[in-house]
């Protein structure tokens, strides 16, 4: 795109630079306007601008415009998929809508998890397309134009080049700033809600545990079903019409499931379709879980026989409590202190030991068998229409903003340091003449309209470290927020381990796995609706995205500076967004693929581990006779094991970026970072080289004494013989204006 500048008359740039330089030397109160202000329009210049606009029509969709168009196209594809699937799912009678929540599948819990896993994989792929396209477009929008840089430099202010920047937002045009804000703000709902448009609802059954004698299901045995042991059942099994309870005169249930269980209580052998026999090991494994999806009421058959002392085949009855941290604690009533040790019965059975339980009626007895009621699983894959509509609106705003970015951005921007070097070599910036090795610190400390510095000695011995290329603000921001979040998560982990330790042993915590729903690891917060739980569960994802952007910016700064240092090591072609012959094209987002791909994998791994550390839990509970509870269990859960992995990865990430910062640059060169003024100061080529340097490989270094400066000069040159700076040698500084 910078070929447009080559169309301008040659005398325009030379006359401008030389006159401005002489005015600075004379200090004769000349105008201190920016370059944009100095170029007064005349007839010839207007004609050249008209020609430039005609050329622009041919090249306006090259370079970063092509990248933004690709981002807009991918966002449109995501929008089409989102709209199409939402319309199909919300209008198809197969996916019934209740309260603006649709059910995509209901049945097997294993199949529900598989469907949910694949849907979330697709959602994450679409989300990655949207967010990566947004980041690319935002970086292009925040990149300054040459006129904006000239205006800032005239006021002795500088802008960022080649890195994501908030600083630039206050200096770029309002239209681009509004587009940047629109794209940025629409990313927040995507982080918070997109993954929760589809979620899996688990199912669990509340059930009766009835201990019976070994002759309970034999004909002719005596069963007293009116005694207190089955009072729980009486409370649950009343007739919906007559309101009479089981055992009352005239009681007759109107539920087939209650009738089936009543028959089992009376000693009648239930049908094989309703109840199945389980081995003791199978029984302990099936019921030793927080939520049992495919089994319900259980009969424990003991080796005890009814006799004259206890003339009843029902020894005891209790009911599980899904809200209790360990609803399967009834398995461990054989412990002397009455405390449940999870897995003890299963471990004993695996070792060949008997399963013994203690009851108030008959004392300690051995369990000989189990008869369990079989039920259908009722896990669901559901989607929220309201959340999906909000996601579609954000998606649409992103598409419109990206298209407007291409259509309305009529002036080339300096997206990479190579773009800036190419621009400053073609049209030197008069505000930075004579300060050839000014770094970012010098610009911030001494670059003022009223004063400057004379020739300065080169005091740098050997290449510097990568960390010097990153401003203290970026280092402090990234490390501070990272450490704060690591400390907060570590504190949560401590309390989580302490809370879980009341009910679980350490080995059971590891066996629980990542992201699995249980009654122990729940935040003690009551949610009135699922939206509140979704926002809380996904809030850490938004925080992580912000932290990752700051982390990524450190790599962007250091790798940009590394590329800059290579120009002091050997001759290299410039890497620009719209390459001319002899130049190279850019990476997608400033970072080489050898770094960007691992960083993307790291980001995915972070988000996945975080989703397994803090996640939404929705469980629909059915009573012992299959009736669903009016309100499901809605909670935000945590996984201590996943948090441990997340903390470990976070610490490794910090150590990695610190290790990268300790690396040395390829050669001795000024640390310009992303500072536009420092880049401009390094790009004042000598007059002999200014005509030949465009489109050739260049090197930055000592080019000898320059006649118009009278001292040795450090700059870019395409010629051989460029040397590295010499320690103690005086090179051009900045002359004080007015001297």
User: Can you tell me whether residue 278 is helix, strand or coil?
Assistant: strand
User: 165 with 429: CB under 8 angstroms?
Assistant: no
- What angle separates helix 640-661 from helix 472-501, to the nearest 10 degrees? 160
Which pLDDT tens digit goes with each residue over 310-324? 667 888 888 887 777
Report percent pLDDT > 70 for the chain: 78
User: Can you tell me whether residue 300 is helix, strand or coil?
Assistant: strand
Instruction: Please list the residues that pair with 98 across neighbouring strands.
Output: 101
CA distance 526 to 635: 7
Lowest mean pLDDT, pick from 240-249, 320-329, 612-621: 240-249
Q: How far is CA 115 from CA 20, 96, 104, 484, 605, in A?
A: 69, 18, 9, 37, 21
Q: Where are the alpha helices (DSSP H) in 214-338?
A: 231-236, 256-265, 280-287
pLDDT at 735 over 50: no
User: 678 with 442: CB under 8 angstroms?
Assistant: yes
Number of H helices, E strands in the chain: 22, 16
- Structure tokens belonging to residue 720: 């051989």
User: Can you tell me whether residue 572 is helix, strand or coil?
Assistant: strand
The b/e string for 13-36 (b: 16+ C-beta within 10 A; e otherwise) is beebbeebbebbeeeeeeebebbe
Q: What is the 3-state secondary structure (H, E, C) of 431-466?
A: HHCCCCCCCHHHHHHHCCCCCCCCCEECCCCCCCEH
As a whole number of Å, the CA-based R_g of the chain is 37
Q: How far is CA 527 from CA 226, 379, 495, 532, in A?
A: 40, 21, 21, 6
Confidence at residue 41, expressed as pLDDT on a 0 to 100 scale: 40
CA distance 294 to 379: 10
CA distance 135 to 161: 15
Which pLDDT tens digit goes with each residue over 92-101? 888 777 778 8
Question: How many residues are there in the chain?
Answer: 739
CA distance 368 to 302: 5
CA distance 177 to 145: 13
Confidence at residue 254, expressed as pLDDT on a 0 to 100 scale: 62
CA distance 480 to 94: 51
Report percent pLDDT > 90 for the chain: 7
CA distance 733 to 221: 108
Confidence at residue 354, expressed as pLDDT on a 0 to 100 scale: 80
- Structure tokens belonging to residue 203: 């199912």
DSSP-assigned letters across all residues of 100-118: TEEEEEEE-HHHHHHHHHH
Which pLDDT tens digit goes with each residue over 285-337? 888 888 888 888 899 888 877 665 566 788 888 888 777 767 777 777 544 44
CA distance 534 to 658: 35
Average pLDDT value for residue range 580-596: 77
Other CB atoms within 10 Å distance of the CB of residue 117: 11
Place of tokens 């001292």: 711
Place of tokens 């601008």: 49
- Structure tokens belonging to residue 723: 């040397």
pLDDT at 393 over 90: yes
CA distance 13 to 17: 6
CA distance 361 to 313: 11
pLDDT at 736 over 60: no
Burial class (CB in 10 A: 0-12, 13-18, 19+), 492: middle
Which H helix or E strand runs over 366? strand 363-374
CA distance 645 to 103: 33
Average pLDDT value for residue range 722-727: 84
pLDDT at 182 over 90: yes
Other CB atoms within 10 Å distance of the CB of residue 47: 10
Higher pLDDT, 592 or 340: 592
Instruction: Please list the residues that pair with 374 across neighbouring strands.
Output: 295
CA distance 243 to 223: 24
CA distance 303 to 607: 53
Average pLDDT value for residue range 471-495: 85
Which pLDDT tens digit goes with each residue over 428-482? 888 888 788 888 888 888 787 765 556 777 887 778 888 888 888 888 888 888 8
User: 68 with 405: CB under 8 angstroms?
Assistant: yes
Instruction: Please list the residues that pair with 203 across neighbouring strands.
Output: 620
Average pLDDT of the chain to the nearest whole number:
77
Tell me whether strands 699-705 and 712-717 are parallel, antiparallel or unpaired.
antiparallel
User: 587 with 596: CB under 8 angstroms?
Assistant: yes
Higher pLDDT, 632 or 50: 632
pTM: 0.75
708: left (phi over 0), alpha (psi -120 to 50) or beta: alpha
Q: How confident is the model at residue 79 (pLDDT cuts 50, 70, 90)?
A: very high
> In terms of Cα–Cα distance, which of 381, 472, 61 is closest to 199?
381
């Amino acid at each position: 795109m910078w070929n447009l500048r080559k169309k301008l008359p040659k005398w325009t740039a030379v006359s401008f630079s030389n006159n401005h330089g002489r005015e600075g030397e004379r200090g004769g109160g000349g105008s201190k306007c920016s370059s944009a202000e100095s170029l007064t329009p005349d007839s010839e210049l207007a004609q050249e601008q008209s020609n430039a606009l005609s050329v622009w029509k041919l090249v306006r969709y090259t370079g970063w415009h092509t990248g933004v168009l690709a981002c807009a196209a991918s966002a449109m594809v995501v929008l089409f998929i989102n709209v199409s699937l939402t319309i199909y799912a919300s209008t198809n009678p197969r996916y019934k809508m209740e309260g603006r929540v649709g059910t995509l599948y209901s049945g097997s819990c294993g199949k529900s998890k598989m469907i949910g896993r694949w849907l979330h994989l697709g959602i994450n792929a679409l989300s990655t397309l949207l967010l990566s396209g947004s980041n690319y477009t935002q970086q292009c929008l925040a990149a300054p134009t040459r006129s904006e840089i000239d205006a800032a430099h005239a006021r002795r202010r500088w802008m960022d080049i080649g890195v994501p920047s908030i600083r630039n937002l206050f200096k770029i045009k309002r239209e681009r700033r509004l587009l940047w804000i629109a794209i940025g703000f629409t990313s927040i709902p995507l982080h918070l809600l997109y993954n929760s448009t589809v979620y899996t609802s688990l199912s669990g059954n509340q059930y009766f545990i009835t201990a019976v004698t070994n002759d309970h299901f034999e004909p002719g045995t005596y069963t007293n079903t009116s005694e207190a042991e089955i009072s729980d059942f009486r409370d649950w099994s009343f007739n919906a019409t007559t309101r009479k309870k089981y055992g009352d005169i005239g009681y007759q249930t109107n539920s087939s499931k209650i009738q089936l269980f009543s028959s089992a209580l009376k000693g009648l052998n239930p049908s094989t379709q309703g109840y199945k026999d389980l081995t003791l090991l199978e029984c302990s494994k099936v019921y030793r879980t927080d939520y049992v999806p495919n089994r319900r009421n259980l009969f424990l058959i003991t080796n005890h026989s009814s006799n004259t002392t206890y003339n009843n085949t029902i020894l005891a009855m209790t009911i599980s409590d899904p809200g209790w941290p360990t609803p399967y604690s009834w398995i461990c009533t054989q412990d002397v202190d009455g405390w449940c040790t999870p897995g003890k019965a299963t471990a004993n059975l695996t070792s060949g030991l008997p399963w013994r339980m203690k009851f108030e009626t008959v004392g300690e007895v051995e369990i000989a068998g189990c008869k369990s009621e079989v039920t259908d699983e009722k896990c669901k894959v559901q989607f929220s229409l309201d959340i999906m509509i909000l996601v579609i609106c954000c998606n649409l705003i992103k598409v419109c903003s990206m298209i407007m970015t291409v259509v309305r951005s009529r002036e080339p921007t300096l997206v990479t340091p190579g773009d800036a070097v190419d621009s400053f070599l073609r049209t030197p910036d008069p505000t930075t003449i004579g300060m050839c090795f000014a770094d970012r610190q010098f610009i911030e400390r001494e670059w003022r309209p009223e004063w400057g510095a004379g020739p300065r000695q080169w005091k740098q011995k050997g290449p510097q470290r990568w960390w010097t290329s990153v401003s203290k603000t970026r280092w402090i921001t990234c490390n501070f927020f990272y450490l704060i979040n690591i400390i907060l998560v570590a504190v949560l982990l401590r309390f989580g381990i302490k809370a879980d330790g009341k009910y679980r042993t350490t080995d059971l915590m590891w066996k629980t796995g990542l992201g699995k729903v249980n009654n122990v690891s729940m935040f003690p917060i009551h949610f009135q609706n699922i939206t509140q739980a979704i926002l809380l569960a996904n809030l850490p994802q938004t925080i992580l995205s912000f932290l990752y952007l700051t982390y990524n910016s450190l790599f962007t700064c250091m790798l940009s500076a590394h590329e800059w240092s290579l120009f002091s090591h050997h001759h290299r072609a410039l890497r620009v967004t719209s390459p001319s012959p002899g130049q190279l094209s850019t990476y997608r987002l400033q970072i080489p693929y050898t770094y960007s791909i691992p960083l993307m994998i790291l980001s995915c791994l972070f988000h996945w581990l975080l989703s397994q550390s803090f996640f939404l839990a929705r469980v629909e509970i059915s009573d012992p006779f299959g009736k669903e509870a009016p309100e499901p269990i809605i909670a935000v859960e945590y996984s201590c094991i996943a948090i441990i992995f997340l903390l470990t990865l976070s610490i490794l990430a910090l150590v990695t970026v610190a290790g990268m910062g300790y690396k040395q640059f390829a050669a001795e060169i000024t640390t310009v970072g992303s500072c536009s003024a420092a880049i401009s100061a390094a790009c004042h080529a000598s007059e002999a080289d200014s005509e030949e340097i465009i489109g050739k490989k260049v090197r930055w270094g000592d080019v000898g004494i320059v006649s118009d400066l009278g001292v040795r000069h450090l700059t870019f040159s395409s010629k051989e013989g460029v040397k590295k700076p010499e320690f103690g040698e005086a090179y051009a500084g900045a002359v004080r204006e007015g001297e």
